[in-house]
Amino acid sequence: MHEVTEHSPGAPRRNVALAPGLGLIFDLDGVIVDSMPVHERAWERYVASLGLAGSDVAVRMHGRRNDEIIRDLLGPDTAPHVIEEHGSAKERLYREMLGSRLASHLVPGVAGWLDRVAGAPLALATNAERANVDFVLDGAKLRSHFQVIVDGSQVPCPKPAPDVYLRVAAELGMPPRNCIVFEDSPVGVAAVLAAGMRVVGILTHAGSLAGTLFSAANFRDPSLALWLSLQEAD
């Protein structure tokens, strides 16, 4: 059994057992790092620099990739290289704005949780571009926890398609049905369900997530460890 230790403020630590044959997969944005507010501010600042300050960026960006947002802003016929340049520039601004505040934007309890599940098969699957993945994992010193890291550029179709999760399962050498995924958005949940995996909702911004087997506000919820201990591999 993989031993997992859970802890809540004011309560003693307790060990729970993660059944052999199970793997844990984490999304990045909203699960590892609460990045949405910074992404929104970065988009607002970047769009303003283009003279498009009147655009409702928060609505445009919700659950969408950069290329979709940029086509929406600049027009459907925008050249691919222009889309890539704008997307890269906005993400550089995002990383600059997050900067030294990264630690304060980690989802509560996630760093300790990753320590406590050490020894279990762990992976990260995200639509985020690799520069952002590297920025968060290296800046927060979390990279060593993950045996497999897959981003949307490495698969034919990003979330809500299941490709990124199916690739992670293949690289972990685990059947999808034995993968438990932590997700924070409807788009991510849809991808997990399409992959035939189990999904836990992390309610960083959503009040609820349809299709999840269990939900928690964050990784400090002691019931998360209890729920995990009851899961079995098929």
The pLDDT value given to residue 118: 84
Is 18 within 8 Å of 229 (Cβ atoms)? yes
13: pLDDT strictly greater than 60: no
Is 211 within 8 Å of 217 (Cβ atoms)? no
| Largest pairwise CA distance in the chain | 58
Whole-number Å distance between alpha carbons of 209 and 202: 9
Instruction: Tell me how far CA of residue 102 lies from CA of 40, 58, 170, in angstroms.
Output: 16, 21, 31
- % of the chain beyond a pLDDT of 90: 65
Q: Which of 6-15, 65-74, 139-148 has the highest mean pLDDT?
A: 139-148
Is 195 within 8 Å of 182 (Cβ atoms)? no
Q: What is the mean pLDDT of residues 150-162?
A: 92
Convert the pLDDT of each residue in 171-205 to its tens digit: 999 999 999 999 999 999 999 999 999 999 999 98
| Nearest CA among 191, 220, 234 for reference residue 27 | 191
Whole-number Å distance between alpha carbons of 126 and 152: 6
| Mode of pairing for the β-strands spanning 2-6 and 148-151 | unpaired
The pLDDT value given to residue 6: 43
Which pair of tokens denotes residue 78? Answer: 């925008």
User: Residue 224 — φ and ψ, nearest 5°?
Assistant: -65, -45
Instruction: Tell me how far CA of residue 176 lies from CA of 48, 210, 225, in angstroms.
Output: 43, 20, 21
